[in-house]
Amino acid sequence: MPPRPDEPVPRRAFPARLSPTSAFFRPHFFPTPMTFTGAHWHLLFNHWPILGPMLALLVLAYGLARRLPAVVTLSYWLLLLMAAATIATVQAGQAAQDELKRLGLLDKAVVHSHIQASRQAAWVMYGTAALALLGLAWPWARRARYWPALVLAATLLTSGLMSYVGSLGGLVRHTELRANPHQRPDGQPAILKTP
């Protein structure tokens, strides 16, 4: 029996093309489960050590400009969190390198420059986090007027180094970003093997 014109039309719980009987919800529609490799973890973590110190830098600069100790403390905690993210990123980077090697996609010169820069930047990040930890825990550093400025300078250095590491990391798989995409940094032709 058709609905009367004055009756509201009942709405379905799902739109017609996404009903529980449509192909979208059938198990054969979904692809096979993806295996999460070290390369995936590295891609998941690698943006935090780059963007996190930049955020902490902005928060710390704001806290210093407005003379808000709570905001300065927040920036110190952000730096500690980013040091933990740096540890995770470095560990996942080793696994990503192994994955590239397994697939035959490892460009040793580009990866080597990325690894060298990441080691230096990681140590600077750990040093910056140590300064932040001292600013949180050591009463003398909490009272020192110059301590937040020292952490600000270290954070600025960390942000620059981490940005450089990120740009080198982008060259590992994004050959279009290189000066000559068909040439490695050591001058040899780039030979990319497909899996």
Instruction: Quote the crossing angle between the two packed helices 108-137 and 69-103, to the nearest 10°.
Output: 160
Domain 38-176: state its class. Answer: mainly alpha
What is the rounded CA–CA span in Å between residue 90 and residue 79? Answer: 16
pTM across the whole model = 0.73
pLDDT digits (tens, 9 = 90+) for 162-182: 999 999 998 888 766 766 655
What is the rounded CA–CA span in Å between residue 163 and residue 124? Answer: 13
pLDDT for res 72:
95
User: Residue 18 pLDDT more than 90?
Assistant: no
